[in-house]
Amino acid sequence: MSELHRAGGHAVILCHPDPASFNHAIARTYRDTVIAAGQRVVLRDLYAIGFDPC
């Protein structure tokens, strides 16, 4: 079991080619809000790490 799962943290999974997109803004805002609340969060941008579902 991962540390994030045991701690009850948040995982935000994103896949969008434009880092200035509305989707990215929502993901960053959510991440920042979770951190401000003293909780753990992991933000992963699948597009940025070259994820290819095919």
Output the pTM of the full model.
Answer: 0.77
pLDDT in tens, 1-54: 565 555 679 999 999 999 999 999 999 999 999 999 999 999 999 999 999 888
CA-to-CA separations, 37 to 32, 40, 53, in angstroms, rounded: 9, 9, 33
| Alpha-carbon 34 to chain mean position | 11
Query: Beta-carbon neighbour count of residue 14 at 10 Å?
Result: 19
Per-residue confidence (pLDDT) for residue 52, from 0 to 100:
86
Look at residue 30 and give its three-state secondary structure: helix
